Amino acid sequence: MRSVFREDHEMFREMARRFIENEIVPHLHEWEQAGIVPKSVWRKAGEVGLLCSTVPEEYGGAGGDFGHSAVMIEELARVNATAIGFTTHSEIVAPYIVAYGTEEQKQKWLPRMVSGEMIGVIAMSEPGVGSDLRSMRTSARRDGDHYVINGQKTFITNGGNADLMVTATKLDPNAKELTLICVEADRAGFSKGRLLEKIGLKGQDTSELFFDDVRVPAENRLGDENKGFGYLTHQLAWERTIIGIRAAASIEALIEDTLQYVRERQVFGKTVFDFQNTKFKLAECKAQATMLRVFVDDCLGKAMRGELSPEVGAMCKLMGSEMQGKVLDELLQLHGGYGFMSEYKISRAWVDARVARIYGGTSEIMKEIIARSL
């Protein structure tokens, strides 16, 4: 039994699982072929209260906590619905606006994000910059009551569907300080690039964003000038824990799928499960998954109590993503040649999991963060 969740969390899980099974799973292959999820799916999710569950009730949200967030993350991971960008929208973009937005900004954007009418993205990554955020080049020049933004972003999750971009900029190109400015997609001078072709997450609309003299009212600035880096890093512990939560749920679901497969698959007159090697491999996977589950739930509990530190968030991401890669590789091997076929969930999940060691900060960056606390 997992003590981190309450009864209301489990009720939310039932609703989320039902929606995912009915509205998402049957269409995943189609969306992966298209490289994007229809906006109508977002609106359906908003109608039943599955988006931005932690947004306060006065802005249209459910006023939930990180437990509700984790439930949605886990249920999407359970079916490997990596095409769905709800997590970035609900757990990264919306919390920035809740934490640093003005009352006017919250009233203007949050209800539309909760309903699925407006899809949010975090426009942070740039070509050639990688993890070194302070080296970004996107500029914002003050011009009276407006900012004029120029630059380019890449690897943007939900970029194809994006309606609102929380955009990291520099007021002084030679300085290291960042300023966050919210840019609506209908602003003159803003454009979206092509959907990027990836080895995994094929249904997720990852794209480039271009800002060419985009004029944005000064009231669209999120928080204070030159405080953006602090805002970004303050939220990173939870964002990295999300990756650990997703990894743990993915591993558990795929162990169950693999158990079913090896118990049914016949070879040399007996099931694959009857071989000692299979049992030993699955025993190791189960032991590792159990160890990860205990740690991830402890991290989730800390997040719910407001006690999650940057180094523990980094540990959660590091151990979750690394273990996911290793365990899924073992599970794929137990499928034999069928594990190499895209029709099997294990093959798609194996490829999709590779990016977990890269995005949200590479494993190497996680080690740096942990080492600083030693």
Would you list the DSSP string of 305-368? HT---HHHHHHHHHHHHHHHHHHHHHHHHHTGGGGGSTTSHHHHHHHHHGGGGTTTS-HHHHHH
Q: What is the pLDDT of residues 186-209, one digit of tens each?
A: 999 999 999 999 999 999 999 999
Q: What is the pLDDT of residues 119-144, one digit of tens each?
A: 999 999 999 887 787 889 999 999 99
On the question of pLDDT at 226 being above 70, the answer is yes
The owner of tokens 């999991």 is: 353
Residue 155: its pLDDT value, please?
A: 95
Residue 325: its pLDDT value, please?
A: 98
Annotated catalytic residue 239:
yes
Q: What is the pLDDT of residues 139-180, one digit of tens each?
A: 999 999 999 999 999 999 999 999 999 999 999 999 999 999
Would you list the DSSP string of 228-254? HHHHHHHHHHHHHHHHHHHHHHHHHHH
Residue 90: its pLDDT value, please?
A: 98
Residue 131: its pLDDT value, please?
A: 74
Picking from 162, 169, 116, 159, the residue whose alpha carbon sits closest to that of residue 139 is 169
Picking from 112, 103, 95, the residue whose alpha carbon sits closest to that of residue 55 is 95
Average confidence (pLDDT) over 101-122: 98
Picking from 222, 47, 59, 229, the residue whose alpha carbon sits closest to that of residue 134 is 229
Domains and CATH numbers, the chain: 7-118 (1.10.540.10), 121-225 (2.40.110.10), 229-372 (1.20.140.10)
Q: Alpha-carbon distance 323 to 313, whole Å? A: 15
On the question of pLDDT at 222 being above 70, the answer is yes
Residue 118: its pLDDT value, please?
A: 98
Residue 330: its pLDDT value, please?
A: 98
Is the Cα torsion angle 21, 23, 26, 29 positive or negative in sign? negative
Going by DSSP bridges, is the β-strand pair 146-156/207-217 parallel, antiparallel, or unpaired? Answer: antiparallel
Q: What is the pLDDT of residues 290-347, one digit of tens each?
A: 999 999 999 999 999 999 999 999 999 999 999 999 999 999 999 999 999 999 999 9
* Active-site position among 32, 208, 239, 252: 239
Residue 326: its pLDDT value, please?
A: 98
The owner of tokens 């300023």 is: 179
Beta-bridge partner residues of 195 = 207
On the question of pLDDT at 252 being above 70, the answer is yes
Q: Alpha-carbon distance 198 to 182, whole Å? A: 27
pLDDT tier, 1 (very low <50, low <70, confident <90, very high otherwise): low
Q: What is the pLDDT of residues 46-102, one digit of tens each?
A: 999 999 999 999 999 999 999 999 999 999 999 999 999 999 999 999 999 999 999
